[in-house]
Amino acid sequence: ELKVEQNPLFLSMQEGKNYTIYCNYSTTSDRLYWYRQDPGKSLESLFVLLSNGAVKQEGRLMASLDTKARLSTLHITAAVHDLSATYFCAVDSEGGGADGLTFGKGTHLIIQP
Amino acid sequence: SAVISQKPSRDICQRGTSLTIQCQVDSQVTMMFWYRQQPGQSLTLIATANQGSEATYESGFVIDKFPISRPNLTFSTLTVSNMSPEDSSIYLCSARQGLAGKDTQYFGPGTRLTVL
């Protein structure tokens, strides 16, 4: 059974600081997704990482994937309040996505002024 | 990117009744899925909606409880049958779109269901 573990599950940080969210998964997968969810809203796609060593950046967020370590990271640089949200990582189940995604439990991020 | 709409956006239902949720995508997609997100929790895949054939259900979900239809490439329905308070949750439709190997999965706004 594929398992996806995120840590931390809850993070409170101050504006201007840097931090990293970690996502470990238990089986081989060559694709990993990061989503953002604001309270009461649906999921917004942030990144799709397609291969080992992939790195993508958008604004203050940077995601990377190490398929050998089965690890992805989401790095936040100089955090701002607008980044407060819950962040989920997810991986394709076996079969290249035919079975949908398996999600981590999410990281609830609060950025305080 | 695919734009996904769902109806209803929310509903309050009585125990023992059924609710059908509709999902419409603005363009053809390869795969459609239904997920459940219980309050404060992560997302759990219910099933893959297959066009013209029976849906593929994940462990713990059965067709009698969650019948799914997908008559074409852009539309699907999920019915929550014989509801109980434990079915109170957000139900999200999702669609996969893009070139093979570079596709991503988009999510609808969700249907917030409360069962009394």
Q: Are strands A19-25 and B4-7 parallel, antiparallel or unpaired?
A: unpaired
**How close A102 gets to chain B, by Cα (Å)?**
7
Q: How many CA atoms lie within 13 A of B40 on its CB side?
A: 2
Task: For residue A41, count other CB atoms closer than 10 A to its CB.
Answer: 13
The DSSP secondary-structure symbol of A10 reads E
Q: What is the mean pLDDT of residues B55-67?
A: 94
The DSSP secondary-structure symbol of A27 reads S
Instruction: Give how many domains chain A has, as a whole number.
Output: 1
Residues B68-113: pLDDT tens digits?
A: 999 999 999 999 999 999 999 999 999 988 766 667 889 999 999 9
Q: What is the mean pLDDT of residues A34-44?
A: 93
Angle CA A31–A8–B45, to nearest 5: 45
Domain of A63 in residue numbering reads as 4-112
Of A42, A45, A100, Cβ closest to residue B45: A100
Which is more confident, A52 or A38?
A38
Q: Are the C-beta atoms of residues B91 and B34 closer than 8 Å to each other? A: yes
Tell me the chain B residues in contact with residue A45 when contact means C-beta distances shorter than 8 Å: 1, 104-107
CB contact under 8 A, A100 and B48: yes
Q: Quick check: B52 pLDDT over 90?
A: no
pLDDT at residue A95, as a whole number: 52
Instruction: Give how many domains chain B has, as a whole number.
Output: 1
Helices (H), chain B: none
Q: What is the mean pLDDT of residues B30-36?
A: 93
- Residue A88 in contact with partner chain B when CB distance is under 8 A: yes
Among candidate residues B81, B85, B41, the one with its CA nearest the CA of residue B61:
B81
Cβ-based neighbours of B24, under 8 Å, separated by 6 or more: B4, B5, B6, B7, B74, B75
Cβ-based neighbours of B58, under 8 Å, separated by 6 or more: A99, A100, B44, B45, B46, B47
Q: Quick check: A96 pLDDT over 80?
A: no
Nearest residue in chain A measured CA to CA from B93: A42
- Residue A100 in contact with partner chain B when CB distance is under 8 A: yes
- Residue A45 in contact with partner chain B when CB distance is under 8 A: yes
CATH code of the domain in which A52 resides: 2.60.40.10
Domain of B87 in residue numbering reads as 4-115
